[in-house]
Structures are given as C-alpha cells and as structure tokens.
Structure 1
Amino acid sequence: MPSLASVLTPAELKGVRALGAEDLEGLLRIVPNRYVIPGALRALQDVHEGEDVSAVVHVVSARDRRMRSRAGSILEVTVTDGTDRLVLTFFLQRDHLVQWHRSRLRPGERIVVFGTVKHAPGPARAERGELPQIAHPRYEIVGEDDALLREAMRPIPVYPLRRSTKQSTMRSALASALPHASEAVSAIPAAVLAAQGLPALEQALHLIHAPRTADDIPAGLSHLVFEEAFVLQAIFAQRRALDARTPAPALEGAGPLQPMLEERLPFTLTGAQRTVREAILERIGRDHPANLLLQGDVGSGKTIVALLAMIRAVDSGHQAALLAPTEVLAEQHFRTITALMGDLSRAGRLDGHPQATAVRLLTGSQRTAQRRETLLDVTSGTAGIVVGTHALLSDPVEFAALGLVVIDEQHRFGVDHRRRLRSKGPAGGSPHVIVMSATPIPRTAALATLGDLDILTLDESPSGRTPITSFAVPEENQAWEQRMWSRVGEEIAEGRQAFVVCARIEESEEAPPSTLELDGLSPPETAGAGDAAGEIAPRGVEETARRLAARPELAGARIGVLHGRMSSEDKQQVMGEMVEGRLDLLVATTVIEVGVDVPNATAMVVLDAERFGVSQLHQLRGRVGRGEHPGIAFFATRAPRGSAVLPHLQEIAGTTDGFALAELDLRRRGSGDLVGEVQSGLGRTLRFLDVLRDAEAIARAREAAFAVVAADPELEREPALREAIAHRLRDADPRVERS
C-alpha cells in the first residue's frame, strides 16, 4: 500500500493520525460512529412541523438579503414538488458562498433536499403567504438522472474526530483511501471466510465506507466483527496449545490433610461446590498446567473450594499461593484459612498437629523481621500455603516447590502481575492457576475475555445463607433518609453491626466529578471532595464518622473508621474490633468490598451510591447478612430529582442475580483488555466486537480458530493471521501468557 502522506492532504493526514491510523489499512479500519440515513422520500404536503423530510423538488426562485444585526446575507430558495412549496434558508457570512449556492440552485433545477421543518405557517402566516422552512438543509443536485438520485439517498458515514478535524475532512480522507481497499489483508484464512459466508475484506470496507443502503452496513461490519473475534480466539488457542506442551506438577496427593480438613468443616458443601471441587482436582492432577476461572456470585463459597485445592497441593508435596489485591483482603483470607484449618495450619508450633503445614502471610507493610521469617519459610518449603498481596510477586520471593496459584479478584491484577507469579513454578515448569471472580461473567463474555481459561461456575448458594434486601434511597426525601438511619440504629440496638461506605477518605480536596458511566472498578482512595461546578461533592470517611456520631438514631453506637491510608497494623486492629464485636458501626471506603467476613453485620449504607459501579454495589452489599440474620442494604444518593441516578440504583437494588447484574455492568463499562495489560474499558480492547451482541459470532470464531491452530500450531501457513496476532499483542509484555 502507498503511504498515508502520498494519498492524503496535510489536513487529512493530521486528522487520521490523531485517530491512531499509521497506514492506509489502519485508516480503512476506522469505522463510522454512526450513519446519517436519509428517510423515505415524502411529498411536501404530508410533512408537518418538526419532522425530518427527504424530498425531490424543483427550484422555483432564489433571493438574498443582507442580515440586519450581523454581517452576512440570508439566502432564501423556494422549491416545490408539485404538492406544496417549501423555503430553504441559508445564513451565509461571506458573499462568495451566496453566489456559490445561487449558481447551483437555479430555477428549474431538480434537487433532493434533507432537513427538519422548523416552522409551518399558522393561519395568519398562511394569509401572508409564508411557507414552511428548512434552515441550512443538506441538498444534492440530481437533475433528471435517477442514478444520481439513488446516489444521493445513500447513508452518510459520521466518523470519530479528534482535535479540530472536520467531518468533511475525514470523509474526504476515507474517499481517498477506499480505492486501495483491495490491498488490505484480512487475518481470516480464505477457507474460513468461505465457510462463514462473509464478504471479502475489500468488499466489506466498501460496504462500510460507501454503503448504498442501510442493509450494507451490518453486512460490511460482519467481516471486521468476525475477524476480531477470530484473532482473539486464535491467541487463546495458541496459549492452550502452549499449556499442553508445558510441564506442571501433577497434584495427585491423597492425604492426610484433605480428609482431616473436610471432617472439621462447620458446614456441608453444596452440590455445586462438590462438583466444582472434583473438576478442579481432576485438572490439577494432570502434568500440564490447569488454567481455571472459578466464578460465583457473592456468598457462593469460592474460598473453601480454593482452599481444598490448595490442601491437595500441600498433600502432593508442593506449595500453594493465594494472591489478593489488597492487604485487608489478604489478611481476611489468612484469618479465614487459619480458622478453618485450626491446628492443621500450625506446623512447627507446640499447638500444631503432627501432620500440619504452615500458613504464612506476606504483605508489603510487614515489619522486616516478620517478613524475613516468612520468606525463609517460603524458600525452605516449610510454608505450604502462602497468602499475600503484590509482595508475592517481588523478585526476592522464591518458592521451594510452587504447585498451585490462586488469584482472588483476578480483574484487579494486570496480566503481567499474574505472569510473574506463574514464573515462580518449578524449574522449567509452571504451577497450576485458578483465578477467582466474585463478579460473575456472562458465558459469552467469558469466552471472549478469558477464552484460554476453563470456566467453572458455582451456581448454588450454601444452605442457610440469609437473603439481602436492598433499597435505593433519595436523600432529598427527608423521611426516607431518616428512616434509613433509624433502621441501622435498630439493627445495632438488637446487638448486630453495620457498615457505612464512602467514596472518599476526606472531603477537603478536589475530587473528580461524578459520572453515571459506572465502570465496576474501585475508585481511587483519594482525599477529595470538591467536584466540578454543579456537582455534589462526595462524602468522606472521617467527616461521615463524626456526623453519624451526632445522629440521634445512632446514639451510643461505637463507631470506627477504615481506609487504605491507614497503616497495616491499624487496619488489622480495626477489623479485629469489628469481627470481635467491639465496634457497632464501621465507616469505610471500598477496602471492605470483597473478602471481609463479619457474620454479625446485617446493615449497610452506601453513601453517594451513584459513584460506585454495578458490580461494586453488589459486592458491597454482600458484606452483610453473612450470618444467621438477614441483611439490609441502602444505596443512598443526593442526586437531584428527575436524574437518571435513582432509576439506575433501583434497578440494582431490585436485582440479586449476580449474573444479571454482571451483564448490566458489562453493557455499561465494557469487559477490559482481553490479552494485554489494560484491565478495564471496552474501547481500549474491542473495536468492532460486542461480547453480548455478537455471542453467536464469538462461538463460530472460537470453533474455527481452534481448528486452524490445531492443524497449524505455529500458523506457518497463515502469515496474515500470525501478523494480526503479533499486532494485537505488540503493546503487551512479551512474557505475558494469559489474561
């Protein structure tokens, strides 16, 4: 293909490069945001005020006059289609534009006109002979040539723009590039293209950029949609093929810790937990790495299933690591695991079981002596299970025989983070990997976003789990707001506990404006509140705790605070006080979003709830009602009456199905980077593919891509596909293996 500079004007070149196009093929793959599609041709006598019109008319007359209040002229062109007349009005600042339009719109000229009728004559205007008008219409001269008329009725693409680029400039650039569409190369092999019944890439690009009818547009996009899905699935297929060639320890140990732990569990596993556990044990018993996604709704019991798998690793003479995104969650996992295992977790201690292993915690804020002792146990193999944060990824951490990695809340980690932990496996091999997600992923989305992982779903809640009732509360309704706090006070008076969640730590500094473009990720724990003009500043933890202490509904309540700027020791102390019942109410940021387990907590208030993502709100309310008493959650908002906030929060409050909420979340925020570093924002990853809309295309692409890779693992016969994969991965760390 020729270079961009040799085909485009300087203005066009500036505009397309601002959109990231590096060559003509990249330019041709920039698709319109939308199209202006002319409506069906109508008779003028049938058009009413405010309606859009497409009509074939003849010019009757044209006259221009100077504007009184500003420079320029008004050009008025009267047209007719034989049923009625219409005035086309142009407000033109320069005289040469008046002359240009007049030279085109001569009496008798046949044109097709598009626009909105801004005012139709009332009775008084009709008496004066005033006609309906269209201001600044779009028109095309068609003469008596019906071919020109058909051309004028084609959809008009509306392209994305950056900087000061004009839409006309982008359209001109694409018109200049389109003759070179035959030189664009598709990543889809010819045999697959034929089997799928898709248009060739050259044809698809013409259908996208120069459609003749509205039906051409989806036909053209079908190629790019399938191609994108096909490239992603080929990446996943290659990774699975690599896994099949990579050695991993076969974790087949039969005891003694597993049966002893199961005997001590204070509950009975659900049928789903037993089924998923057996599937995991079968996969990690193979001699090549298992890569599993363990997903389930809030409270479905993922942690115990993961723990049973980690115990299998220890029984097999290997180590297991559990990676959590925050220190609070890591510490919670550590407490949960050691509580469930009891003396089975105290190897080397007087109160330990003779066949116990050691469970160790490793975080970045540990004191030097404690960290050194933990690292020694990890390196020597004394620690069979290691729970930690990003500190587990640091170079000094060397495992004696790492056989299994469990990653909690996998969407919080970049893929390179996970890859570094995988590299700590036995020499020349890889540990098995289980990634857990408490944010359920719709199946088609999971196939597109985590296609190289085997998906295991816990679709059953443990028996005895109490329901959570949720309400959206508009705080401008003072009666509702007061009742909300009274309800929290009633729970505390009954000896139970509550959480209040804030979007900020402090309210004293500037914070980014709120948005309804909820993305499901935890907002940064910044000390901020001053939003853009017109925005309501979010409330902070410290100030909220002081305000709540003064509320009569909460008189006498023991209130604590928890946020990410606190030291590890302080966070541990506060959570300990909450778990032990020495606090009645904890005001916190989203550090409590996942993993925090306080069975006696039954009430939650999320302040400024519109600032949290769909999955966040679902996760947060999952922190209450974890014991014998039912939970209640309030999503409180100060958004003004009539905004979109309250219906949105009511939709979340009224839905407890995590998979339904996950689909809503996916529609709002996108699925994150699928194979590279970025973890959120659909626009950064998928250009053409919609993982919900294009479920059927994803399934077809997956089947086709896996067949192609199975027949030609290195894609030696498919250089275009190999190049497309390299291009897709060029910004990712070359060591990254999977999402």
Structure 2
Amino acid sequence: MAESKKTTDLNSEVKYLKGVGEHRAQLLSKLGIKTILDLMEHFPKVYISRKLSVTLGDLKPGDMLAFTAVISWVDVHQTAKGRNILSIGVSDGKVGIICSWFTYPPVYEKMFLPGRLVWLNGTITEFNGQLEMVHPEFELIDDWEDTKEDFWKNREVLPVYPLTEGINQKLMRRLIYNAFALYAGFIEEKLPENIIAKHHFLERKTALQKMHFGQNPAEIEKVRRRFAYEDFFYTQLLWARHKTFHTTKTKGIKFINKKQLTTGVYKKLPFTLTKAQKKVLWEIFADMCSEKQMSRLLQGDVGSGKTVVTLFAMLLAVENGYQSALMAPTEILAEQHYETITNLLKGFEVQVCLLKGGVYKGKEAIKKAIAEGSAQIVIGTHALLQKDINFKRLGFACVDEQHRFGVEQRAKLANLAEHPDLLYLSATPIPRSLAMTVYGDLEVSILDELPPTRKPVRTIIRPSSKIDTVYSEVRQELALGRQVYIVCPLVEESEKIALLDATKLYEYISQKVFPEYPASLLHGRMPVKEKDMIMQKFKAGEIKILVSTTVIEVGVDVPNASVMIVEHAERFGLAQLHQLRGRVGRGSAQAYCYLIEHSPVSEVAWQRLTTMTKTTDGFIIAEKDLELRGPGEIFGYEQSGLPVFRFANLVRDQEILRLARQDAFEIVHADPDFELPENALLKKIYFSQFTDKEKLILY
C-alpha cells in the first residue's frame, strides 16, 4: 500500500490519501479519479433519505423510482431446478412491494432483515396483480455495525455515488470524507469574485462540501448550477477569444454587392425563394461585404434550399473576380450539386467545373483551369484541399455536411491564401446548446422553412406482423409510377448476418412481393463505383425499389421516390430516422415513411418512434435526440472539438450555458488578454489549461 503523506497540492495522486493506496487508486481511476481534487469533484448521482419517502399506493408498472421503505418480510425459496430466489417485502405502512433477486451473493440472505430501513432504486413491474421490482439497486441505511466514529451515521440525507467494482458506497463515502477532512483548506477558487457576486454563487470550497454533505436536496441543485456554469464558462472564454482574434487579427475579403450575376440569376429562378432563404442570404452577404472573414454555419432540413443560398454566395465572390469552391462529402453528392448549379446558371457566362477523385481524361486540364483562375466555380469532394490543387484566387469556400469536417480541417481551410469566406452546411439540425459548444467559433444561420410546394411526409408506425398491409399500400404508389426505398439496419456486431438478412429481404421483395418492378440491392461492402451506379440508376428511374443495408447517402435527390420503409426502425437513432425520412417527399406528391417495429421495443425506442410521428421539424427532433442519447453519441467519437463536461448537462443546463456564454464574451470583449487586475485569476487558470486548445483553433 502506498504510504499516506500530507500534501497541499490537490493535484497529487489519490493513492497518497488516507485509506486509498495503490490497488484502490487503480480502481478509482476507472471512474476518472486520479487526483485528490478529482475525488472531491466526484459528485453523487442521487441523494437518499433515512425517512420513509414515498406513498407506494400511487405507483404503477413502468414507473422508475428511488425510495426508502421498511422491510416487512424476507423469503428464500428454491425453483424446480434447485436455484434460490430471494424475495423481500417492503412497505410504507399501507401498501407493499415485492423485490426479487434471481442471482445474488449468499451474504444478501443475512443482510436483509425485517424492520430494517432500505433504499431501493429500479423500475416497477407487475406480476399476477402484485407490484414488484426485479434486481433493484439498494442500500441498507440503518447500518447495525458499530459506527460510533462514523461521520455518516447520524446524517439524515446520504449521497449515492457512481461506483466501480471493488468500491462500495460505504468506502467511497469514507474516502471522500477523508479528502475533505484533510484537504478542504487547500481548495482554490476558479471563478472571479465579480461573477460569484453577480450570480449569487457560493465560494468553491463551500459549494464542494455542500455537494457531498448537504442535507437539503433543493439547495444542492442550486449549488450544482455553480459547477455547471464553471464548466461552460471556460469553454466559452475559448470561443470568445477565438472570435476576437478572428475579427481583429484576421482580415478577410471585403466584397462589393455589384448585383450583376446575383440579380441576373435571381430574376431567372424557376421558383420563388422562401422568406427564410432571403433572411439567410442577407446575413451571408452582410458578412461577405465586411472586412472580416466569414465563418458561418448554415443549418437547414433536407430540401430547405441550402444549395441555392450557397450559389448566390458563390456568385457574389465570382462577380468580384474571385473563385468559389463547394466541397461535398461524396462524389455522387458533388455531381448532384454540379448538375443543380449548371442548370441554374444556363445562359450565364460562368465557368463551372467538377473535380472528381481518381485518374480520368481531362482531370489535368481542370486542375490547370483552377490554378489559372478560369474555373470560377469549382465543385468536388473534400479532396479539393489536397496539396496538388492550387486555386489562383479563392474568395469563398462552402463545406457541405460539415459534421464530417473537424476543427483542424476548418483551421486549414480558413488559413488559405487570402482568408476566403467560409460557409458550412448541415442537413443534420444541431441543438442550439451543442452549436454553442461544438461550433462556438461560428455564426449560425437557420433555414427553418420548406418551399411551399413540399408536403410534410406522413409517418406511420406499423408492427412487423402488418407488413403485408404495408406492401399492399406501397403497391398503389408503385402503380402511380413512384419509387420506393426499403432500409434494413446494419448490426455492427455481425455485419455478415445483417448483409444476409438484406439479401434475403431483397430476394423476397423482388421475387415474391413485387416481381413486376425492377429492384436492386445496395450494401456497404459494394465498391464505391458499383454503389454510385446503382444510385444513378435509381435516380434515373430505371430501378423502382431499392433495398439497402446502409443509410442512403445524405442529400441524394430523387424527387420521384415517395415511400421509405424502415425495417427494425426501433434499432435506429432519431437523427438517422429523420435523415432517412428526408430521402422522400422531395417532389410535389404526398410521401410516406413506414417505421416497421419488431418486438420487443424498449421505452426509449418507443419515444423515438412516436417523436417521428408527431413532428417533421428537424430542430425539435434534434433536441429530443440530444435528450435521449447525449452529445457524445450524436457526434460520434470522430468529432474533434467536442468538449467534455464534468458537471454540466447540455440538455438540462441550457439557461446556464447562455449566462456563461454572455459573461465570457463580455469579459473577452473588454479585456481579451485578461490584463485587468480583476481578471488575474482567469488569466492564471485559462492559460494553464487552454493554451494547447487555442493553438488548434486560433485562425
């Protein structure tokens, strides 16, 4: 065991704390606890009371509940196969609940005794009319051991901590008590005095102790807000300094709205721009006609008209003698953009070129035209950033589906030659709280209005037992000349099985259900060229039914497709379901999205499916997705720049985020390098913790 030694440095290894040692330090590291301060900042997940805390008569199956009750009786009985089942009855004095364990350590039989007080946490179920809990989390809170010296013995409210194997609640409480008993005097403040006074926060030392030892749960929630603010505040200082640096140190191109190409194309548009498109264009043009380099995120659902908005921004650069670039995540999307833009520019003398990957005839000539500047609008994949592609005078660059584009790539793009104006497009609506933290360096524009010709997609949940009814309804759409997507989920653990299932489904659809309509199978293991060829055939109408194991490429436009069938819809996330639904309804005809569920369906999965039937608003769906899954899962692990918060919750703490952002930007605006005396603490903490992150994003 490591020798305990007194230190004044809270960043000392936790193994030196009384009661820890080498072995327990390794266990604590699994919880992210490596220092004494980490242990002090390991907050309870919930608080329990020694008082009876619930009226059991109000409960119903499905309720998730944590409560304190008295054990009425204990029973152990054997099954026919000789396995012991432990059951206890708990009561509030009027109504009883049975708690059962089918597998358990033998010591449980000695621990549970009638009359003892127990805290339980789990989901209420019902069996033969009797309410019960199976394998609930529990803690006996009238410990009968000799605990005269135990600080926790007479505490009415006890903290319940996140644990790992080998560390129980009793030990965790003792270690945290030891940490504060020995080191509370060395806790340092992290927020300036004026911020603490402004928001009526407690000082950090007091606030930390209340989080662990507080006896009033309502007060504890107010204290937690202080730590959530702290989390957000320093991240927002980072973005505020970036913005100040970007607008004062980096000069962009000051374009002039000459209203030559832009006005000419506007007058010849075959449709009317929505109010949202006009508003966003005004925001973009205001940025481009200023001296600062534009860094703007344009969010809008599929079909909201992001490409047309981008075209006008590109034309503003072109009529000022600059080149424009549009980068798409895949070649098929780049080709689609090229097709859309060349159609809208028919009759105008604008040189548009498409740069694809690989080796092909004419590629060198395109690269030469880019280098000489005769290629005015260049469309391609993110490969446009490669070293052998040299723009003569790039003034505007647009990145489509920017969530595939990390912070470092954004910095690389921003630093090109004359600091071109940058626009990032996202068809995946991003909740405002995430946009402020992950894309805090960008201004945000939103297209929240679909063209008037578009009808909302009708979304229907159907059980797998009713699939024949779905097929008969889909047949009517096929008879009208429409096209159909059928999507199967890709099960990551067993890709081969998913592929086999899709193959079987394709064979069943093409041979048994709709033999008279041409169908094709698309899966993730196909070569890119083969996938592109199938998508092009589907787009051209040669294929009527497309069965796919993979999420159909974002943005591919097939206006004639009016039906999306999602098999095993319960396996998909909300964002995925929303993206899939966005594949249909791109024409003027009514479109349908069938969500086929295969039992059993979890409560969270039902919430996802019912959300899809209630709204087609991508921003409402994005907020719900954030609530159900959390930010890490939405962006995946590849998203560089996603902050990790110890105390804050992006769903629950959005108002705190707004306050922290406002304060951070005000401070940086007045004192960007924290030179004022009142910002001395900020300067010390910020530059010790954020210097490396600044190097990544200051461009």
TM-score normalised per structure 2: 0.80
Structure 1's 149 and 34: CA in aligned 2 closer, same or farther, altered over 3 A? closer
Partner residue of 2:99? Answer: none
Partner residue of 2:33? Answer: 21
Contact residue 40 and residue 54 of structure 1 kept, 8 A:
yes
Structure 1's 182 and 358: CA in aligned 2 closer, same or farther, altered over 3 A? farther
Contact residue 564 and residue 592 of structure 2 kept, 8 A:
yes
Partner residue of 1:487? Answer: 473
**Which piece of structure 1 moves more, 290-299 or 587-596?**
587-596
**RMSD, aligned CA:** 3.8
> Percent of counterpart pairs with the same letter?
32
Partner residue of 2:566? Answer: 606
Is 1:283 equivalent to 2:287 in the alignment?
Answer: yes
State the 1:240 CA deviation: 0.9
Q: For the residues of structure 2 that align with 1:650 and 1:142, how far apart are their CA atoms? A: 50
Structure 1's 672 and 715: CA in aligned 2 closer, same or farther, altered over 3 A? farther
Structure 1's 371 and 39: CA in aligned 2 closer, same or farther, altered over 3 A? farther
Partner residue of 2:413? Answer: 421
- Quick one: which amino acid aligns to residue 503 of structure 1? P
Structure 1's 420 and 463: CA in aligned 2 closer, same or farther, altered over 3 A? same
- Quick one: which amino acid aligns to residue 408 of structure 2? D
Is 1:310 equivalent to 2:314 in the alignment?
Answer: yes
Is 1:241 equivalent to 2:227 in the alignment?
Answer: no
SS at 1:464 equivalent:
coil
Q: For the residues of structure 2 that align with 1:392 and 1:262, how far apart are their CA atoms? A: 28
- Quick one: which amino acid aligns to residue 476 of structure 2? E
Contact residue 445 and residue 692 of structure 1 kept, 8 A:
no
State the 1:225 CA deviation: 0.4
Partner residue of 2:368? Answer: 376
State the 1:136 CA deviation: 8.3
Structure 1's 34 and 207: CA in aligned 2 closer, same or farther, altered over 3 A? same
Contact residue 37 and residue 214 of structure 1 kept, 8 A:
no
Contact residue 573 and residue 608 of structure 2 kept, 8 A:
no
Partner residue of 1:438? Answer: 427
Structure 1's 328 and 539: CA in aligned 2 closer, same or farther, altered over 3 A? farther
Partner residue of 1:671? Answer: 631
Per-residue Cα deviation, 1:251-292 (whole angstroms, up to 9, x for no partner): 224253222322332101111111111111011111111221
Q: How many equivalent pairs are there?
A: 625
Partner residue of 1:661? Answer: 621
Partner residue of 1:358? Answer: 351
SS at 2:460 equivalent:
strand
**Which piece of structure 1 moves more, 15-24 or 196-205?**
15-24
**Which piece of structure 1 moves more, 378-387 or 711-720?**
711-720
Between Structure 1 and Structure 2, whose CA radius of gyration is higher? Answer: 1
Partner residue of 2:452? Answer: 463
State the 1:593 CA deviation: 4.3
Is there any run of 5+ residues in structure 1 with no aligned partner, and where? 44-49, 57-69, 71-80, 82-90, 106-110, 118-134, 345-355, 505-510, 514-526, 531-536
SS at 1:689 equivalent:
coil
1:392 to 381, 384, 388: 384
SS at 1:634 equivalent:
strand
SS at 1:229 equivalent:
helix
Q: For the residues of structure 2 that align with 1:539 and 1:655, how far apart are their CA atoms? A: 34
State the 1:309 CA deviation: 0.9
- Quick one: which amino acid aligns to residue 621 of structure 1? R
1:34 to 42, 46, 64: 46
Q: For the residues of structure 2 that align with 1:325 and 1:737, how far apart are their CA atoms? A: 25
1:294 to 295, 298, 310: 298
Partner residue of 2:673? Answer: 714
Per-residue Cα deviation, 1:618-642 (whole angstroms, up to 9, x for no partner): 1211111211211111112323367
Per-residue Cα deviation, 1:297-317 (whole angstroms, up to 9, x for no partner): 332212211111111111122
Is 1:545 equivalent to 2:506 in the alignment?
Answer: yes
Structure 1's 673 and 545: CA in aligned 2 closer, same or farther, altered over 3 A? closer
Per-residue Cα deviation, 1:97-130 (whole angstroms, up to 9, x for no partner): 99xx9xxx9xxxxx9954579xxxxxxxxxxxxx
Partner residue of 2:175? Answer: 173
TM-score normalised per structure 1: 0.76
Structure 1's 41 and 411: CA in aligned 2 closer, same or farther, altered over 3 A? closer
Structure 1's 702 and 169: CA in aligned 2 closer, same or farther, altered over 3 A? same
- Quick one: which amino acid aligns to residue 516 of structure 2? G
SS at 1:156 equivalent:
strand
SS at 1:405 equivalent:
strand
Partner residue of 1:698? Answer: 657
Structure 1's 583 and 164: CA in aligned 2 closer, same or farther, altered over 3 A? same
**Which piece of structure 1 moves more, 149-158 or 266-275?**
149-158
Q: For the residues of structure 2 that align with 1:305 and 1:647, how far apart are their CA atoms? A: 35
1:116-265 to 2 correspondence within 5 Å?
A: 137-140=140-143, 151-161=154-164, 164-178=166-180, 179-245=182-248, 246-265=250-269
Contact residue 328 and residue 571 of structure 1 kept, 8 A:
no
- Quick one: which amino acid aligns to residue 549 of structure 1? S
SS at 1:661 equivalent:
helix
Per-residue Cα deviation, 1:219-258 (whole angstroms, up to 9, x for no partner): 3312210111111211111111011121111122425322
Q: For the residues of structure 1 that align with 2:208 and 2:297, how far apart are their CA atoms? A: 37
Q: For the residues of structure 1 that align with 2:532 and 2:293, how far apart are their CA atoms? A: 35
Structure 1's 248 and 686: CA in aligned 2 closer, same or farther, altered over 3 A? same
Structure 1's 538 and 17: CA in aligned 2 closer, same or farther, altered over 3 A? same
- Quick one: which amino acid aligns to residue 172 of structure 1? R
Q: For the residues of structure 2 that align with 1:274 and 1:92, how far apart are their CA atoms? A: 67
Q: For the residues of structure 2 that align with 1:52 and 1:463, how far apart are their CA atoms? A: 53
State the 1:674 CA deviation: 12
Q: For the residues of structure 2 that align with 1:653 and 1:291, how far apart are their CA atoms? A: 35
State the 1:676 CA deviation: 12
Q: For the residues of structure 2 that align with 1:681 and 1:248, how far apart are their CA atoms? A: 24
SS at 2:631 equivalent:
coil
1:12 to 24, 37, 50: 24
Contact residue 118 and residue 139 of structure 2 kept, 8 A:
no
Contact residue 411 and residue 679 of structure 1 kept, 8 A:
yes
Contact residue 272 and residue 460 of structure 1 kept, 8 A:
yes
**Which piece of structure 1 moves more, 644-653 or 282-291?**
644-653
- Quick one: which amino acid aligns to residue 252 of structure 1? I
Contact residue 406 and residue 640 of structure 2 kept, 8 A:
no
1:329 to 318, 330, 333: 333
Partner residue of 1:273? Answer: 277
Is 1:503 equivalent to 2:489 in the alignment?
Answer: yes
Q: For the residues of structure 2 that align with 1:185 and 1:362, how far apart are their CA atoms? A: 56
Q: For the residues of structure 2 that align with 1:656 and 1:547, how far apart are their CA atoms? A: 31
SS at 2:649 equivalent:
coil
Structure 1's 393 and 160: CA in aligned 2 closer, same or farther, altered over 3 A? farther
Is there any run of 5+ residues in structure 2 with no aligned partner, and where? 1-7, 56-64, 72-81, 83-92, 94-103, 122-137
Structure 1's 184 and 116: CA in aligned 2 closer, same or farther, altered over 3 A? closer
Contact residue 247 and residue 287 of structure 1 kept, 8 A:
yes
Q: For the residues of structure 2 that align with 1:202 and 1:51, how far apart are their CA atoms? A: 29
Contact residue 557 and residue 585 of structure 1 kept, 8 A:
yes
Q: For the residues of structure 2 that align with 1:697 and 1:339, how far apart are their CA atoms? A: 47
Per-residue Cα deviation, 1:455-488 (whole angstroms, up to 9, x for no partner): 212222111112211112211x2xx201212222
Is 1:512 equivalent to 2:492 in the alignment?
Answer: yes
State the 1:675 CA deviation: 12
2:393 to 401, 405, 408: 401
Partner residue of 1:472? Answer: 461
Q: For the residues of structure 2 that align with 1:282 and 1:412, how far apart are their CA atoms? A: 27
Q: For the residues of structure 2 that align with 1:37 and 1:570, how far apart are their CA atoms? A: 63
